[in-house]
Amino acid sequence: MNGLGELEAVVMDVLWEADTPLRVREVLDRLSTSRTLAYTTVMTVLDNLHRKQWVLRDKDGKAYRYRPSGTREEITARTLRRMLETSTDPDVVLLHFARSASVRELAVLRQVLDERSGDR
């Protein structure tokens, strides 16, 4: 997933697949990576994801339980919004994106624009 490191993306996949919030140990146990990871490594990744607002955490005794702060699609849209807001020229970014969009993506954008123009 764009905007995330390889391990962060794998951890997010674990959280999105989970039915309930998970502790660090539970995330570690569910990770399928080619290398052995330390508990503290996963804890650091989860802390970074929390700082980036990709995950929420709730205190559970002395530990935290982690859950995604939204669906994959919601977080991706939020990331795109932040990138536009921090760009020095968001209009140019949108133009580049529109030029690179597939026919299907353009159809979705057209549908939303038509809906919004009907709101006026």
Mean pLDDT of 48-68: 96
Name the residue with higher pLDDT: 4 or 56.
56
Name the residue with higher pLDDT: 30 or 3.
30
Residue 33 confidence (pLDDT): 73
Name the residue with higher pLDDT: 35 or 99.
99
Alpha-carbon distance of 107 to 17, in angstroms, equals 30
The domain ranges of the chain are 6-68, 89-120
- What are 71-108's pLDDT values in tens digits? 999 998 998 898 899 999 999 999 999 999 999 999 99
6-68 in CATH: which number? 1.10.10.10
In contact, 64 and 57? CB cutoff 8 Å: yes
Which residues does residue 22 pair with via DSSP β-bridges, in sequence order?
A: 66
Mean pLDDT of 51-77: 95
For residue 85, the surrounding DSSP H or E stretch is helix 72-86
Longest pairwise C-alpha distance within the chain? 56
